[in-house]
Amino acid sequence: MWAAVPLLLLLLLLLLLPLARLCRRGAARLEPAGRAVLITGCDSGFGHLLALRLHRLGFTVFAGCLCPGGDGARRLQREAGGAGRLRVLRLDVTRARDVRAAKELVLSHLPERGFWGLVNNAGISTFGETGWLPMETYEKFADVNLLGSIRTTLAFLPLLRKYKGRIVFMSSIIAYFTLGNGIYSMTKAAIEKFCDALRLEMKKFGVQVCIIQPGNYARSTKIQPPLSAEEIWSELSEEEKAVYNKEYVQERADFFNSILSEGSPNGSEVVDAMVDALTSPAPKARYMVAKLKEKALVFVCALFPTVVMDSVLSYALSK
């Protein structure tokens, strides 16, 4: 009989958790006025949309842009109505001096309620089988998608602990599986594990850590432009060209570009999740914003043996 006690306690806990969450969600939402949020990767895509949304809600927004003089940054300032509570700053997350300068700017312009949120949104993506990409590309992706988020988080952690704020990370359902973009999948899987460790460690300080996991929103962002077979072929080493022919590369390019074309154009769905992570009295640890078939793939990956997932993905690639 006693052997069944742990199982019963687990079932009871699973039943009570949703009730506890409902009670907490009944509490008043956060008051944005006088609170600052820093967002990386605001030149376009989700970061751009989120900066405008948070500005409209009343937050003081520090919008990190790779090109602060570029079209995206200028449009952001124009759409926000000029200066005031939205400041555009140069922020290349791979450069420690940019991160330090961003922190100094935030500290010198903190509103009365302090620093509330850090949104690690900046990221890059590309397509290519493992041997097609040079080591320099792997290093660049790790620096932007993984180390860039860690670099920024470490810099702002003292402020977040002081004000018991929120940290939001942009991940992807691609953290669970890959369909021709293993390099992107690799970095997202790594950032998920970094977040899992950070979330547990920050609980004692009252800092909450949330992960956003979008599905295919390629049409909502500029993170992954279509690639032609000729572009891919021209970048292959001679060793890879000896293994793969142009017809195969064309097939893979057509397959990947077709996936991109099916992406949702409604980026506001992802931004809704990011806003909830920053303002809800009971934010989720993970927000999966994806189509039903994408969620099904994640379900299969998480619960079924690897051989099943390999069969599913191999079938998809063969088509």
Q: What are the extents of the domains in the chain?
A: 30-225+265-292
pLDDT of residue 104: 98
Q: Does residue 53 contact residue 37 with C-beta atoms inside 8 Å?
A: no
Report the distance separating Cα 160 and Cα 115, nearest Å.
7
Q: What is the pLDDT of residues 48-76, one digit of tens each?
A: 999 999 999 999 999 999 999 999 999 99
Residues in the chain: 319
Q: Does residue 47 contact residue 119 with C-beta atoms inside 8 Å?
A: yes
Report the distance separating Cα 225 and Cα 250, nearest Å.
16
pLDDT of residue 215: 95
pLDDT more than 70, % of the chain: 91
**Would you say residue 97 has pLDDT above 60?**
yes
Tokens of residue 134, six digits: 């040079």
Domain 30-225+265-292 fold is Rossmann fold (3.40.50)
Higher pLDDT, residue 277 or 2: 277
Token pair 């493992």: residue = 130
> Residue 304: helix, strand or coil by DSSP?
coil
**Would you say residue 47 has pLDDT above 80?**
yes
The active-site residue, picked from 163, 184, 217, 287, is 184
Report the distance separating Cα 129 and Cα 316, nearest Å.
15
**Would you say residue 242 has pLDDT above 80?**
yes
Long-range interactions of 191-200: CB distance < 8 A, separation 24+: 191/120, 191/145, 191/146, 191/149, 194/146, 194/149, 194/150, 195/169, 195/171, 198/153, 198/167, 199/285
Q: Does residue 239 contact residue 110 with C-beta atoms inside 8 Å?
A: no
Report the distance separating Cα 63 and Cα 42, nearest Å.
6
Report the distance separating Cα 278 and Cα 269, nearest Å.
15
pLDDT of residue 18: 60
Residue 93 φ/ψ, nearest 5 degrees: -70, -10
Instruction: Determine whether 184 is an active site residue.
Output: yes
| CA dihedral of 259, 265, 269, 273, whole degrees rounded to 10 | 60
Q: Has this prediction a pTM greater than 0.85?
A: yes
| Cβ atoms within 10 Å of 282's Cβ, excluding its own | 14
**Alpha helices per DSSP H over 145-291:** 148-163, 182-202, 229-235, 238-243, 246-261, 268-279
**Would you say residue 1 has pLDDT above 50?**
no
